[in-house]
Structure 1
Amino acid sequence: MRFITADTHFFHENLLGTTDFAIRPFANVTEMNRTIIEHWNDRVIDKDTVYHLGDIALYFTHPAIKSNEAVLGVLNELHGHLVLIKGNHDSRSLFKFLAQNNYLLEGKPKFEFHDVGVLSKYDHRQYYMTHYPMMLGIAPQIINLHGHIHHYTVPAKENINVGVDTPETAYLDYQLPFGTPLSLADIEQMVNGKKIDFDKRL
């Protein structure tokens, strides 16, 4: 199966509590990291693929190798193959380190890397997955899945925020635990829910 997420921001202390970007009611980053890992692994198995649309972590140490090792340690705990799309907080140093420590999982590389975005098809629809929201114009069969804006939404029905802080899971008729990657079925329900919501405004 395929899943999508963004903006996990592992180790990011400044996102704890209630901030301008997120509501993360955790006592510390260890608790936050562990919660995301557990909810991720409750849904994803190693044969699955998870598209992570940027901002994996925010953690800086001197020397940088220590933070890169810590992030790798967290990613190695996550089930599935990770297709990593670079976010504004993802350093080239981290991606290079992950590439150097890549390995085979279920016969495929654990990590795959993209600088800008990935196009994927599902049920007669195309998803353009990027970190930053993209304004695609009128393209009924193309939906931009993105992160970056945390608990905000783009006022366009063609854009769906898939980050862990997204408010657009309100379009689901069920709740997902914090940090759970979204399935394509979840995404479809969010797309349809947002379209209905916008159609009502006309």
Structure 2
Amino acid sequence: MAKVFFTSDHHFGHKLIIDFESRPFADVAQMNESMIASWNTVVAPEDKVFHLGDFSFLNKEDTSSIVARLNGYKTLILGNHDRGRSRNWWLETGFHEVSEYPIIYKDFFFLSHEPMYMNKHMPYVNVHGHIHGQKYEGKNHFNICVEHWDYRPLSFEQIRDSVVVSEEG
């Protein structure tokens, strides 16, 4: 049975992100290859992946090459570094769906690139990226940036169960 995964902020091809976020890679080539391998260790070809933005700094050809190597049906929610390119550009690189706006998934997750304001009465958990190694306080937020999760996407169940446990604890 197909699973659903979430991830963000790979910054494929972005040399400076290695130093900015103390990523454990010697160079961009190693970073890119390692992140592709990590993705494919958890995501099967029939799975669905929501990428919550800041996917690639590479040109269209190189970005397309990476997208083609990643398992799953891929939906991109545009991040701040993705918005300089059109929705069509991203579709042409191989993403199956591209959204310029947040998405509500299963009446439970509010998927966005940047953390969104969530008051205590909102029935959602904001799964977001953008802030990399930082943590946004509060049980209504879940930072899916690759730095927190060993550069692997997390499944719906992993996030849901983590949020439910933290609310009970």
Aligned pair in 2 of structure 1 residues 69, 188: CA closer, same or farther (>3 Å)?
A: same
Q: CA deviation at 1:79?
A: 0.4
In structure 2, give the amino acid aligned to 1:8: H
Hey, what's the Cα distance between the residues in 1 that align with 2:120 and 2:89?
A: 39
Structure (1 or 2) with the greater strand fraction: 1
C-alpha contact (below 8 Å) 1:68/1:94 kept by paired residues: no
Cα displacement (A) at 1:193: 4.5
Deviation at 1:147, TM superposition (A): 0.2
Correspondence for 2:153 among 171, 178, 181: 181
* 2:4 corresponding residue in structure 1: 2
Quote the Cα distance in structure 2 between the aligned partners of 1:11 and 1:94. Answer: 19
TM-score by length of 2: 0.90
Q: Does the 8 A contact of 2:133 with 2:147 survive in 1?
A: yes
Give me the identity figure in percent: 31
CA contact (8 A) 1:160 1:190 kept: no
Asked whether the equivalents of residues 90 and 98 of structure 2 are also in contact (C-alpha less than 8 Å), the reply is: no
Structure 2, unpaired ranges of 5+: none
Secondary structure of the corresponding residue to residue 42 of structure 1: helix
- What is the CA–CA distance in structure 2 between the aligned matches of 1:148 and 1:111, rounded to whole Å? 22
| Counterpart code for 1:133 | P
Cα pair 1:128 1:145 within 8 Å, conserved: yes
Q: Distance in 2 between matches of 1:140 and 1:95?
A: 29
- Gapped regions of structure 1 (runs ≥ 5): 60-66, 103-109, 170-177, 198-202
Q: Find the partner of 1:83 among 57, 75, 95.
A: 75
Structure with higher Rg: it is 1
Following the alignment from structure 2 to structure 1, what is the Cα–Cα distance between the partners of residues 51 and 124? Answer: 19
Contact 1:23 1:165 in 2 (8 A): no
Cα pair 2:67 2:93 within 8 Å, conserved:
no
**CA distance in structure 1 between the aligned counterparts of 2:68 and 2:31, rounded to whole angstroms:** 16
Q: Residues 100 and 71 of structure 1: is their aligned pair in 2 closer, same or farther, counting only changes over 3 Å?
A: closer
Q: CA deviation at 1:165?
A: 1.4
Cα distance between partner residues in 2 of 1:139 and 1:6:
26
Counterpart of 1:115? Answer: 100
**Which residue of 2 is the match for residue 16 of structure 1?**
18
Task: Evaluate the alpha carbon distance shift between residue 179 and residue 42 of structure 1 in structure 2; reply closer, same or farther with a 3 A threshold.
Answer: same
Q: Report whether the alignment pairs 1:164 with 2:163.
A: no
Q: Aligned partner of 1:48: which letter? A: D
Task: Indicate the residue corresponding to 2:163 in structure 1.
Answer: 191
Residue 136 of structure 2 corresponds to which residue in structure 1? 154
- How many matched pairs? 167
Structure 2: which amino acid aligns with 1:145? V
> What is the CA-CA distance between 1:111 and the residue it aligns to?
1.5
